[in-house]
A and B are shown apart, each in its own frame.
Chain A
Amino acid sequence: MAGIVGSYALTKLQVRSIFTHSRQRQLLRIVGTAVMIIYAAITIFPFYVLFVRTFVSTKDSTELHLWIPPAQEISMDAQVGNLAVFYNLDLKRVKEALGIPQTEFLQSRITLKQISERYNIPPERIKGYFAGFHTYNGWITLLSGADFWLALGRTLLVTVASLVGLTILSIFTGYGLAGLRRRGQMIIYNVYLLQMVIPAMLIILPQFMIVQWFARLLPGYDSPGLLRSVIQLLIVVLINIKGGAVSTMIMTSFIGAIPKEIEEAAQLDGASQMQYMRHILFPLLKVPVASLVVIMLPQFWNQFLEPFVYLDQSNTTLLPLIQNLSGVYSTNFQILYTAVFVSILPLAVVYLVFRRFFIEGAMAGAVKG
């Protein structure tokens, strides 16, 4: 029902009124389209700037950059201390790559030229090591870190598990409450609606308490290790699939709108409730499932508070990882902007590919509340 209402609503917009063809109307259309183009451009602008800024080193960030700056070589007169500040050089790795003994102490005032002379390293080798460092520093540092890929994997895992779990449980809830014909069903429905009006911060403070109680009962939670990581990720998934106002409203209204006669006919033919769900209900649910997925996908992918609170720093998803990075790379905003850009990119691509579903889902959600 929800999705059908959504697409019906959209087609209704294309039905023209009897007054469509006046001249005033045409003028309005031109001006309106111009406004739309301008607003769309403004909307895209911050994302574009973010993309550009992933290539702007912290050193150059006080200048205005509206296009990707040309790649620069690092000057041989650059001091190690400054490089360390701007690019968060890991001196250990530098020494390893250039063949300098780890026992050597590199003063912060020393320049690359002096290093080349003192340790007999050809300047080309140093230049080679730092090639592209200036412009692509953010990308290189981020993509070469194992932390990033692990966090990305965890984000993906939590998102997919949450979507699948929420969909299945919400269908069950929708079936259980379908029609809201009884008082008990109405009460349960209203309890779910409550979730919409309680701020997340009010929920999580006491919730953390009860989750800790339960988690402590599980073996392996108290000591670091794989088991603890798995339990923590499971906690976040469970919080995501507990359902709420949106999932319950979508499923209940859709399943409630399916004629009762279909189920009765199935029962007369000897189908159990499970068989009815499996063979008749599920195939009918493509539309509400699509709505639910497109509404919840951004929420799960972009979740910050729960992973930030429940996951260890060594076991974190993408956004809390960026928060941790901001402590490590406090002077290198290039890598932080790169990380933020990368966190948006996958979802933006999915959105642009499946935009029809997202728009219909948004309209359906708006109609249903």
Chain B
Amino acid sequence: MVGTAMRLSRNALSYQNRAILIQYLFATPQLVLFLTLTVVPFFVALPVLFTDQANYTDPQINYVGLNNFTALFTDPGLQAEYLPALRRTVTFVAANYLMIYLLGLSLALLMYEIGFRGWFFTAVYLPLMASGFAIGYIAVMLFAVSTGTANLLLLKLGLIQKAIDIKSGTGTCVILPILVGWRWAGFNMAIFLSGLLSIPRETIDAAIVDGASYWQRLTRIYFPQMWPSFIMASTFCLIGSFGVFDELVAMGALYGGNEEAKLLSVFFFNAAFRSDRLALGMTMALETFLPLVLIGVFMQRLQRRLQY
């Protein structure tokens, strides 16, 4: 009797084991692709970081120790290229981050307070259908120094005295973030709106009954309960804007001679694909982006802990 029960349970166990195995099997095809194309490359590239490999087909590869890692701190020529790019990128990211709140958060609050409007959501979300590449071209179209439509319009209306040049520092660090913010406004609005919608209505009504002003409601009721949204929008913005590339290519960062649009990603791309400094470029990309990845992982953890 006992033996039969044991045999039965062993059978049940093996059946369950098989089911688990089959479940894992289903996850395998995509996992193999993902690991091969995203995770394994990092390990394959690790040895390259200690060599002077110039490009992807370089036949002569020498071991150079930690030179690539220290070059950033010791080579003045490299610093003269890297540091301006870093400075511009940080400015760009900061401006982009500001735009999340200026557009995404304000539009979400607007929609939350006066009720859902389908047509408005449709309009705000529309720019996300344009590619980042197209956004770069639209920036040039609007703010090229002598042919930009927005420039010509603003000059005619007398709102600016001198045309804005998209190929200047202002172009990359002010105009482009505005347009990037405009493109992502719908996306960020959706994030903040879903954060607002997760707030129990009773807490808001109670605050109104108690006579809280709108500002008090925002800072005491809304924002503390929207932390996951803030973290999510910040993560997306941080990773996305540090890696910005398509927009810059369209603005002439690769072939157009637009020096001001050369942010870090353009620098790394050039090092790897165009100027025969592959190993150096990869090392510097890792040095620059690794802290970001760690911050990103931390923020993801934090967000999940807050959500559940």
Give residues in A with beta carbon < 8 Å to B: 9-10, 12-19, 28-29, 32-33, 35-36, 39-40, 43-44, 46-47, 49-50, 52-53, 61-66, 169-170, 172-173, 175-178, 182, 184-185, 188, 191-203, 205-212, 238-239, 241-244, 273, 298, 301-305, 308-309, 319, 322-323, 326-327, 333, 336-337, 340, 343-344, 347-348, 351-352, 355-356, 358-359, 362-363, 365-367, 369
With A28-B113, A39-B107, A359-B125 already in contact, the answer to whether A340 and B289 are too (CB < 8 A) is no
Q: Which of A50, A202, A366 contacts B190 (CB 8 A)?
A: A366
Q: What secondary structure prevails in chain A residues at the interface with B?
A: helix
Whether B133 pairs with A322 at a CB distance below 8 angstroms is yes
With A43-B124, A44-B123, A172-B29 already in contact, the answer to whether A369 and B232 are too (CB < 8 A) is yes
Complex CA distance for A63 and B28, rounded to whole angstroms:
59
Residues of B near A198 (CB, < 8 A) are 38, 239, 289, 293, 296
B142 in the interface (beta carbon within 8 A): yes
Whole-angstrom distance between the Cβ of B279 and the nearest chain A Cβ: 10
- CB-contacts of B184-225 with A (<8 A): 185-187, 190-191, 193-194, 197-198, 201, 204-205, 208
Complex CA distance for A196 and B304, rounded to whole angstroms:
14
Q: Which residue of A lies closest to B214 (CB)?
A: A28
Complex CA distance for A184 and B250, rounded to whole angstroms:
43
Whether B45 pairs with A241 at a CB distance below 8 angstroms is no
The 24 listed contacts between A and B (C-beta, < 8 Å) are A35-B110, A36-B120, A43-B124, A46-B141, A47-B126, A61-B147, A172-B26, A195-B38, A196-B235, A196-B236, A197-B299, A198-B38, A198-B296, A199-B239, A200-B245, A207-B38, A210-B36, A322-B133, A344-B134, A347-B129, A348-B129, A348-B130, A355-B125, A363-B193
Whether B122 pairs with A319 at a CB distance below 8 angstroms is no
B63 in the interface (beta carbon within 8 A): no
Whether A64 pairs with B156 at a CB distance below 8 angstroms is yes
Residues of B near A355 (CB, < 8 A) are 118, 122, 125
Q: What secondary structure prevails in chain B residues at the interface with A?
A: helix
Residues of A near B120 (CB, < 8 A) are 36, 39-40
Complex CA distance for A347 and B128, rounded to whole angstroms:
10
Give residues in B with beta carbon < 8 Å to A: 19-20, 22-31, 33-42, 44-45, 48, 56, 107, 110-134, 137-138, 140-142, 146-147, 149-150, 152-153, 156, 179, 182, 185-187, 190-191, 193-194, 197-198, 201, 204-205, 208, 228-229, 232, 235-236, 239, 242-243, 245-246, 249-250, 254-256, 265, 268-269, 272-273, 278, 281-282, 285-286, 289, 292-293, 296-297, 299-300, 303-304, 307
With A40-B119, A201-B285 already in contact, the answer to whether A273 and B27 are too (CB < 8 A) is no
Residues of A near B48 (CB, < 8 A) are 206, 209
Whole-angstrom distance between the Cβ of B205 and the nearest chain A Cβ: 6
Whether A210 pairs with B41 at a CB distance below 8 angstroms is yes
Residues of B near A65 (CB, < 8 A) are 149
Complex CA distance for A147 and B60, rounded to whole angstroms:
38
Leading 7 A-B pairs by shortest Cβ distance: A176-B27, A197-B296, A199-B243, A302-B131, A206-B45, A206-B41, A13-B116
